[in-house]
């Protein structure tokens, strides 16, 4: 492997930037609820998140990575025509997704890294189809439909599961006790487990948003085999943990101090539901948004009467972000691809 190949360096850097963003915000969101309830200190949560996010990414992240790298668009057919196109296309995709995520984060919009990267990869595929390199029908629209459907289903599933879990806790414990605060104390311990679980789940699904295109690019360059190598997953895992350690802790702090409503029983319900839904999707090779699933789960706890006040208008903001993010990321990625090819990179 020629580590001085500028394309490899660019791909890895872009992948790391994406991973950093995911760690700094999405992972931090998933972990913030555990700090808010006092289950873990800020330092502890960073260590727990670091370890389990990394484990999730390395051990269980390859399925979704393959989907993003090779599932949606026929990367191998393009590679046969010219591997260079794949390299530049994937670079354009990460850069476009990274650009949208940066913009969304600056304006605090509920945009998902998953939606950005799926849109960006699709954008690259559409350009190659437009250029006649591949047929439009060779893009896996069926899979794309499944992915989009999973974006709708996952928050709903999170809500249903969180509703059921919290209702069980309420009926079995909260309504039977004279001392609800003691129950909460016990759930603080359980929340340490769900913190690990949600970090693992997040790592297994969201790592793909950073390393999916990175892997496809490296594969086209002939640096890696047809199987996703572990070191690529390590790059993604590392990037996310660095993101958490260098910026995510601030996001965790902000969330932790503002979410006082989410007591340990409520936090446990929302986290357990979210992690389960995300792991299930990782297993099904479907890239979903952990953050959106978490929002769904929180609403589920609210529907079960567990929260003092839930703002449902966030649902429309999320739906709007779906509708805008995919085409916007696709267009940006397409333009970047044409531009990068144009300057002869």
Contact 296, 222 (CB under 8 A): no
| Binding of other proteins by 178 (CB under 8 A) | yes
| Binding of other proteins by 310 (CB under 8 A) | yes
Tokens 């006040």 found at: 309
- Residue nearer to other proteins on the CB measure, 9 or 171: 171
Give dist(CA 314, CA 270) in Å, integer.
16
Q: Which of 51, 55, 109, 143 binds other proteins (CB under 8 A)?
A: 109
Q: Which of 258, 284, 320, 323 binds other proteins (CB under 8 A)?
A: 258
Closest by CA to 119, choosing from 335, 327, 290, is 327
| Binding of other proteins by 294 (CB under 8 A) | yes
Which of the 8 DSSP states describes residue 308?
Answer: S
Query: At closest approach, how far in Å is the CB of 272 from other proteins?
Result: 16
Q: Which of 39, 198, 298, 329 binds other proteins (CB under 8 A)?
A: 298
Query: At closest approach, how far in Å is the CB of 313 from other proteins?
Result: 4
Which of the 8 DSSP states describes residue 229?
Answer: P
Q: Which of 31, 111, 165, 235 binds other proteins (CB under 8 A)?
A: 111
Residues 179-238 that bind other proteins (CB under 8 A): 180-181, 184
Contact 287, 208 (CB under 8 A): yes
Give dist(CA 98, CA 210) in Å, integer.
9
Torsion angle of C-alpha atoms 333, 100, 115, 201, degrees rounded to 10? 120
Tokens representing residue 150 in the block: 């999973």
| Binding of other proteins by 72 (CB under 8 A) | no
Q: Which of 137, 175, 225, 226 binds other proteins (CB under 8 A)?
A: 175
Give dist(CA 201, CA 311) in Å, integer.
26
Q: Which of 10, 18, 20, 26 binds other proteins (CB under 8 A)?
A: 26
Please work out, in degrees rounded to the nearest 5, the angle formed at the alpha carbon of residue 54 by the alpha carbons of 264 and 18: 100
Enumerate binding residues for other proteins (CB under 8 A). Answer: 24-26, 29, 32, 104-106, 108-111, 166, 170, 174-178, 180-181, 184, 247, 250-251, 254-255, 258-259, 261-263, 291, 294-295, 298-299, 302-314, 317
């Amino acid at each position: 492997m020629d580590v001085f190949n500028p394309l490899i360096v660019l791909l890895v850097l872009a992948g790391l930037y994406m991973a950093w963003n995911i760690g700094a915000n999405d992972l931090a969101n998933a972990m913030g609820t555990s700090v808010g309830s006092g289950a873990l200190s800020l330092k502890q949560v960073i260590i727990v998140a670091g370890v389990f996010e990394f484990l999730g990414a390395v051990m269980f992240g390859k399925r979704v990575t393959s989907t993003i790298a090779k599932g949606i668009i026929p990367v191998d057919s393009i590679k046969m025509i010219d591997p260079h196109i794949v390299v530049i296309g994937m670079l354009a995709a990460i850069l476009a997704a990274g650009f949208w995520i940066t913009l969304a984060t600056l304006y605090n919009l509920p945009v998902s890294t998953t939606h950005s990267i799926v849109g960006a990869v699709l954008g690259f595929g559409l350009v190659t189809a437009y250029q006649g390199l591949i047929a439009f029908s060779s893009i896996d629209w069926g899979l794309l439909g499944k992915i989009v459907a999973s974006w709708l289903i996952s928050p709903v599933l999170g809500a249903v599961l969180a509703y059921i879990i919290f209702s069980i806790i309420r009926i079995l414990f909260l309504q039977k006790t004279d001392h609800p605060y003691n129950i909460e104390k016990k759930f603080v311990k359980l929340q340490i487990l769900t913190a690990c679980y949600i970090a693992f789940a997040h790592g297994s699904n969201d790592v793909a948003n950073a390393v999916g295109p990175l892997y496809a690019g490296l594969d086209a360059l002939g640096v890696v085999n047809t199987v996703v190598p572990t070191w690529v997953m390590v790059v993604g895992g590392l990037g996310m943990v660095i993101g958490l350690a260098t910026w995510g802790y601030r996001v965790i702090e902000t969330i932790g101090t503002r979410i006082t409503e989410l007591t340990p029983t409520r936090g446990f319900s929302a986290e357990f539901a979210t992690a389960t839904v995300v792991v299930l999707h990782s297993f099904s090779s479907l890239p979903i948004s952990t953050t959106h699933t978490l929002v769904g789960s929180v609403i589920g706890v609210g529907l079960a009467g567990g929260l003092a006040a839930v703002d449902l208008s966030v649902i429309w903001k999320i739906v709007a972000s779906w509708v805008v993010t995919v085409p916007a990321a696709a267009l940006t990625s397409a333009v970047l691809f044409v531009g990068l090819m144009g300057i002869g990179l």
